[in-house]
Structure 1
Amino acid sequence: MTTTPDALAQERSHHDACRAALARMVEGAEERVVGGADVSASGADAEVLGYQFRSHAKAMRELPEAPLFFGRLDFEGGEGSGAGSVARSGAGSAGRSGAGDHFGQRYYIGRLRISEHPSAPPLVVDWRAPVSRAFYQAGARDPQGVAVRRRFGWAPGSKGDSRDLTGMEDEALGEGDEGQESPGSRILAGEIERPRVGPMRDIAATIQPEQDDLVRGELAASVCVQGAPGTGKTAVGLHRAAYLLYTHPQRVQRSGLLILGPNRTFLRYIAEVLPSLGETGVRQSTVQDEIGRHPVRAHDDEAAAVVKHDARMAEVLRRALYVRVAPPVEPVAVPDGSYRWRVTLGELERIVEDVRREEPPYAVGRDRVRSRVVRAIQDQAERRAGPQNNTWVQKIGRARSVSAFVDAAWPRVRADEVLAGVLGDAAALAEAAEGILGGAEQRAILWARPPRSYKSAKWSAADLVLMDEIEGLLERPAGYGHIVVDEAQDLSPMECRVIARRSDFGSLTVLGDLAQATTPWAARSWPEVLGHLGKPDATVTPLTTGFRVPRAVVGLANELLGRLDVDVPPARSMRGDGELRVREVADVAAGVVEAVRGALGQEGSIGVIAADHDVERLRTALDAAGIDSAGPDELGARVTVCPASVAKGLEYDHVVAAEPAAVAEAEARGLHRLYVVLTRAVSRLDVLHSRPLPWSP
């Protein structure tokens, strides 16, 4: 469709009306805070309502400045070519066409619902609303009652000024040939291929049908997305989080929603996506942040880390904890005035064995042992003198002899104390690991110089994972209603168990790519990962069509994919544009300077990615050439020099991959790391090498 001045003026006018309505919505939210939650509410109710109003007002104030709609749906039965009046609630009747209850309706689709009054028809419908699904799913073969789908083109970087609405594109689905797909959208392609500078953006305007299916999955369902580079798996996970918050607000907010990323650099990169979709207050964290009860002040060599991350350590730690539970050695006698109540040794043995057989959390088991000893005494007392009151029961529970028995049979312990006892004592480790870990494995994790006390121990990152396992044995941690786990292919079995403990009663969205698995303990299959996550029945869905990475870059990555020990389908790209240059150079640093100079003449971000030990040398070369560069944490920089170890999940318009052989040989799974590096480019990729390429025959 050719955009006419009159049509553009009408849409700009509608956007102005939406902007005014949004301003009134923000003002109304502020007035509810000032006016109070509810004059009839008091106490806790008033406090809860007040918190809800303040939170809503804060979220409204913090909405990012952006265009208020990106699409429009005109359903069959409207005036002209499907254009009806702006959405009227309850209009139309089911069965007249594929449009159903939306017969003759027009809906503008945006990132949040906008209306002139809560009971008024919406000026803009939230992209997560059920009717919005047709915007993503309707096509010539299945128009779903849509006569015309309109996409709006906005100036790059627009903050929502109506003058930034530069064009429109209509797709007449109701008149399409069922055997033919509609031609590709220039606006959609332009949005997908737009240069990447700064943090990750939302993809609400560009969600594809297969992505939409995953986004709108049921809350109770756990899903795993095996996503090739550029397929938008991270964006799918974040939009699924936003969809669940919209669809199940009370359930999800009550139990919490957690986004887990591989590192803080990655979290900063994705931090603005959910707020841009109108969702704030979601916890975004890493596994290490979730379990960071102690500072990391020690470093494990690879042999020790591999053993500590092994799933077998769970049983070693369970044994080390429960070896402290000891059989009773004498009966319990409790003075009660002039009388003395007794619990026999046999009955005490039965109590301890029964509780162990029930396998409750350790702390719960300790409480059960005490309460059952008290109950045994209470039964005696009631047979002799009748019912006893709560004061008497509490007195017996606090009796010195009862406490002494519980402390001896089921002692109070700390997780760090138990772990220090395992790692610092060869005999204790051998007892706990018998038949589980071999001698070399035990020596790998045994402290060479144990601290004088667990209080002075220096813990490694892997130790904190083990400590969380013990904490989980002691007491069940608070869980979340839903957890989105990104880059899950790199999780160790013990890290998976950290997450599983926090999702016992919730669901998971697991995102990753086995080809990008770089840790020594990375799994080779998703069923293995999902088993450790406690969701063995989760559906694994592959995303193989890339929308961000150009075809030439994907082709190069697929050459390397064949050399990786993983069973994943090759990626394909919908983008025929992009540039790939593979050049042999005598001096890689000089080649990087030349490549960056050339890239600066084009639009977009530039990422120089190299083996970690080469990063400082390359930044020095760029500085000497008068080219300013930044590290990966400085989002929005024009030129970034990024270590290969933290490149996962990041994107740059132009990537300069420096000396692939150095990346490949830097670690055991270096070829997987190189696969990550090669797939960070969304427009252009320069590969500079002075040594043979790792994928060459």
Structure 2
Amino acid sequence: MSAHDPLALERSHLAASRAALRAMRADVEALDIKDVAANWVNARVLERQMEERITALADLADTPLFFGRLDYETHAAGTTFHIGRRHVHDADGDPMVVDWRAPVSQPFYRASAKEPMDVRRRRRFGYTGGELTAYEDEDLTDASAGARSSRLLQAEIERPRVGPMRDIVATIQPEQDEIVRAGIGGTVCVQGAPGTGKTAVGLHRVAYLLYAHRERLARTGTLVIGPNASFLRYIEQVLPALGELNVAQATVDDLVAHVEVRGTDSPDAARIKGDARMAEVLRRAVRSGVTMPVEPVVVVRGSRRWRVPAYELEEIVRELLARDIRYGAAREALPQRIAHAVLVRMEEAGEAPDDRVQDAVARTPAVKAAVRAVWPAVDPVKLVLRLLSDAAFLAEHAEGVLSAEEQRTILWAKPARGPKSAKWSAADAVLIDEAKDLVTRTPSLGHVVLDEAQDLSPMQYRAVGRRCATGSATVLGDIAQGTTPWATPGWREALAHLGKPDAAVEELTQGFRVPREVIAYASRLLPAIAPGLAEATSVREAAGDFAVRPVGLGELDAAVVAACRAVLAREGSVGLIAADARIPALAEALAEAGLAHLAPGEETSAAARLTLVPASLAKGLEYDHVVLDEPAAIVAGEPDGRTGLRRLYVALTRAVSGLTVLHAEPLPRELAQASA
């Protein structure tokens, strides 16, 4: 190996780093922890931690151990750092690969000739099948040199993908890195056009925060919230690839799964139930059972009787109501407050009661009976059931909040006999979650990532906000992709419902994934679906394959199958996106043609590279090649034209390398000019 052959030297360092990683794992595997823990519980916790550490130290042959290098000008006497997904050290503890999240790695993403950040040279590496095959150097000492694009960076961005979403740790851009490394103390909202990497930014931000604040987040927990189970399966491998194995993932429906959802709402009913005004209706209903005392409480202790008059009990109840604390907490405080009033009388009579006496008084039958009468227990499920079934009860607590017409809209046509027989909707489950929080505080996590946030209702925002009330959040979305009747009109309103009104709002407009011709075509819809939103641009050098093809009536299925067969001849994943109503017919056509296909979220399977995607599930997914079936059907599949055009915008922007649009019906007029 020549000392003047940089590629050979880097390959040697890669081999040595892999050997060092294997040694690190072997050291952990060799540890004897049998007699270390004090008890079996601690032993099991330690054993699990060891298992997770061993898993995190796995050397994945197809995953580059490092992807870059920094040569510092003056830092640590000209030290060179290899940047990778995890830290690797040699037998002496000296770093061979530095974690991408470490402060010393930051210039790899931020340094430029104008602001070199003490870096003399930045080197990027190219890999083929896990083997180091190329490198590319960037001299940052020449401030007069113009910025030039990185060939290896472009190749990595455009590399075909099959299977679930992968990390972007080697290609994070400066504006993305600023969001990734934002402090844990504040909430960040990212408005990102298609292909700007907002989902990846959110996931890498979690990985960074776990690195920088591991102990804190280990205690409080982290959670990634996605729009549906298919999306979560698509992104589930990103954090493990970055060495983070303990981040929970869920949908909003998972968070509020207090009842079995078996019913559906009309769009109008769902919109009203999702309105923030329902929080006030629920607050009134939860407190409706509180009544003012009309009888005194008489506590018998030995031969003495202690009397607390009704007017004093009323003062206690009104004070607890005025404090506006949670219903359950107030109910727990009430017997102690009554007992305290009894103790005051004992002390006035010359006795010297202590806390044990107060607790005993609080548990007496007289006090318990008074609490049951004045502040009865509330079952959140039964409370919401009554609101939706009892017109008089709803009218009483919705007066001045919901109109009579709105009340009629959300009332069930056929009242349920009980909670188990009720056909609860997804919006009803969110109402129950609100009611439960009014009774008992929802535990808060340290950090929550909320993706595709533009589609949440105000009440859903409140449900998520409860899960990070004492923590922070990363909110990701695109106003132009809002496809629900209650989609948020603006981020400030959404953040207020989330309980994070002071969150910083960042905008990503540079696309790295969607080809420029595709994003330009899709952006024709922006004036109709999001007039105030800036049009996205693409930094992709390759224009991508793009075609819009009209076909004859009755020929669409065959044309779609032919288009799928053609793109399957190329490398990478293929997504056939169509209106939900068209999915059965297309599935049958693909089967007759012998083209195996998957459903969204099944991309981890090696059985096929073609995924048949209902338009309603396309959000957040991406494929190298997209065949888009009948745009007019996608628009017509939604309850209104604007929502339909937003759904179409989502479908058009799932392509990474190529897009073929096939249509037998006329295109929506907003796209007609682009295809001319």
Offset of residue 47 of structure 1: 6.6
Q: Does structure 2 retain, via aligned residues, the 8 Å contact 1:588–1:688?
A: yes
Name the stretch that deviates more: 443-452 or 4-13: 4-13
Q: Does structure 1 retain, via aligned residues, the 8 Å contact 2:187–2:503?
A: yes
Q: Which residue of the partner structure matches residue 471 of structure 2?
A: 506
Q: Which residue of the partner structure matches residue 133 of structure 2?
A: 166
The separation in 2 between residues aligned to 1:247 and 1:683, in whole angstroms, is 36
Name the stretch that deviates more: 384-393 or 119-128: 384-393
- Establish whether residue 624 from structure 1 lines up as the match of residue 589 from structure 2: no
Q: Does structure 2 retain, via aligned residues, the 8 Å contact 1:222–1:507?
A: yes
The separation in 1 between residues aligned to 2:634 and 2:59, in whole angstroms, is 41
Q: What does 1:61-100 align with in structure 2 at a 5 Å threshold?
A: 61=58, 66-76=63-73, 99=74
Q: Does structure 1 retain, via aligned residues, the 8 Å contact 2:3–2:9?
A: no
Q: Which residue of the partner structure matches residue 83 of structure 1?
A: none
* Stretches of structure 1 lacking an aligned partner (at least 5 in a row): 77-98, 159-163
1:642 to 613, 616, 639: 613
Q: Which residue of the partner structure matches residue 213 of structure 2?
A: 248
Q: What does 1:36-115 align with in structure 2 at a 5 Å threshold?
A: 36=34, 38=36, 52-61=49-58, 66-76=63-73, 99=74, 101-115=75-89
The separation in 2 between residues aligned to 1:63 and 1:530, in whole angstroms, is 40
Offset of residue 61 of structure 1: 4.7
Q: Deviations over 1:421-458 (max 9, x none)?
A: 11110000000111111112111111111122234323
The separation in 1 between residues aligned to 2:44 and 2:564, in whole angstroms, is 56
Name the stretch that deviates more: 164-173 or 680-689: 164-173
Q: Which residue of the partner structure matches residue 118 of structure 2?
A: 145
Q: Which residue of the partner structure matches residue 155 of structure 1?
A: 128
Report the AA paired with residue 171 of structure 1.
Answer: E
DSSP 3-state at the match of 2:263: coil
Q: What does 1:144-543 align with in structure 2 at a 5 Å threshold?
A: 144-156=117-129, 158=130, 164-174=131-141, 176=142, 178-543=143-508
The separation in 1 between residues aligned to 2:520 and 2:651, in whole angstroms, is 14
Change (3 A) 1:389 1:61: farther
The separation in 1 between residues aligned to 2:390 and 2:412, in whole angstroms, is 8
The separation in 1 between residues aligned to 2:589 and 2:410, in whole angstroms, is 41
Q: Deviations over 1:647-696 (max 9, x none)?
A: 00000111011110111121121110000000000000001111221123
Name the stretch that deviates more: 515-524 or 558-567: 558-567
Offset of residue 635 of structure 1: 0.6
Q: Does structure 2 retain, via aligned residues, the 8 Å contact 1:232–1:547?
A: yes
DSSP 3-state at the match of 1:454: coil
Change (3 A) 1:623 1:105: same
Q: Which residue of the partner structure matches residue 581 of structure 1?
A: 547
Q: Which residue of the partner structure matches residue 29 of structure 1?
A: 28
Q: Which residue of the partner structure matches residue 15 of structure 1?
A: 14
1:606 to 574, 583, 586: 574
Q: Does structure 1 retain, via aligned residues, the 8 Å contact 2:512–2:540?
A: yes
2:96 to 123, 140, 146: 123
Offset of residue 45 of structure 1: 6.7
Offset of residue 625 of structure 1: 1.6
Report the AA paired with residue 139 of structure 2.
Answer: A
The separation in 1 between residues aligned to 2:202 and 2:295, in whole angstroms, is 58
DSSP 3-state at the match of 1:70: strand
Report the AA paired with residue 120 of structure 1.
Answer: G
The separation in 1 between residues aligned to 2:449 and 2:63, in whole angstroms, is 26
Report the AA paired with residue 512 of structure 1.
Answer: G
The separation in 2 between residues aligned to 1:195 and 1:348, in whole angstroms, is 72
2:663 to 689, 694, 697: 689
Change (3 A) 1:657 1:212: same
The separation in 2 between residues aligned to 1:613 and 1:459, in whole angstroms, is 25
Task: Give the number of aligned pairs.
Answer: 661
Q: Does structure 1 retain, via aligned residues, the 8 Å contact 2:225–2:451?
A: yes
The separation in 1 between residues aligned to 2:317 and 2:268, in whole angstroms, is 38
The separation in 2 between residues aligned to 1:138 and 1:36, in whole angstroms, is 48
Report the AA paired with residue 35 of structure 1.
Answer: I
The separation in 1 between residues aligned to 2:497 and 2:272, in whole angstroms, is 16
DSSP 3-state at the match of 2:484: coil
Q: Deviations over 1:525-551 (max 9, x none)?
A: 110111111111111111000010000
Offset of residue 9 of structure 1: 2.0
TM-score if structure 2 supplies the norm length? 0.95
Q: Does structure 2 retain, via aligned residues, the 8 Å contact 1:37–1:49?
A: no
DSSP 3-state at the match of 1:649: coil
- Establish whether residue 673 from structure 1 lines up as the match of residue 647 from structure 2: yes
The separation in 1 between residues aligned to 2:252 and 2:49, in whole angstroms, is 29
Q: Does structure 2 retain, via aligned residues, the 8 Å contact 1:308–1:462?
A: yes
Q: Deviations over 1:489-517 (max 9, x none)?
A: 00110000001111111111110000000
Q: Please report the RMSD computed on the Cα atoms of aligned residues, expressed in angstroms.
A: 1.9
The separation in 1 between residues aligned to 2:609 and 2:188, in whole angstroms, is 36
Q: Does structure 2 retain, via aligned residues, the 8 Å contact 1:496–1:533?
A: yes
The separation in 2 between residues aligned to 1:439 and 1:63, in whole angstroms, is 62
Report the AA paired with residue 567 of structure 1.
Answer: G
Name the stretch that deviates more: 397-406 or 224-233: 397-406
The separation in 2 between residues aligned to 1:102 and 1:541, in whole angstroms, is 34
Name the stretch that deviates more: 500-509 or 624-633: 624-633
Offset of residue 56 of structure 1: 2.5
DSSP 3-state at the match of 1:691: coil
The separation in 1 between residues aligned to 2:49 and 2:572, in whole angstroms, is 41
- Establish whether residue 656 from structure 1 lines up as the match of residue 627 from structure 2: yes
The separation in 1 between residues aligned to 2:482 and 2:76, in whole angstroms, is 46
Q: Does structure 2 retain, via aligned residues, the 8 Å contact 1:201–1:273?
A: yes
Q: Deviations over 1:308-358 (max 9, x none)?
A: 111110001111111111111111111112221111111000000000000
The separation in 1 between residues aligned to 2:581 and 2:3, in whole angstroms, is 56
DSSP 3-state at the match of 1:377: helix
Report the AA paired with residue 530 of structure 1.
Answer: L
Q: Does structure 2 retain, via aligned residues, the 8 Å contact 1:37–1:50?
A: no
DSSP 3-state at the match of 2:5: helix
2:524 to 553, 559, 562: 559
Change (3 A) 1:62 1:438: farther
Q: Does structure 2 retain, via aligned residues, the 8 Å contact 1:553–1:580?
A: yes
Q: Deviations over 1:81-128 (max 9, x none)?
A: xxxxxxxxxxxxxxxxxx4x33411000000000024x6220000000
Q: Does structure 2 retain, via aligned residues, the 8 Å contact 1:36–1:50?
A: no
The separation in 2 between residues aligned to 1:218 and 1:116, in whole angstroms, is 31
Change (3 A) 1:628 1:422: same
Q: Does structure 2 retain, via aligned residues, the 8 Å contact 1:231–1:543?
A: yes
Report the AA paired with residue 589 of structure 2.
Answer: A
The separation in 2 between residues aligned to 1:239 and 1:36, in whole angstroms, is 36
* Stretches of structure 2 lacking an aligned partner (at least 5 in a row): none
Q: Does structure 2 retain, via aligned residues, the 8 Å contact 1:63–1:276?
A: no
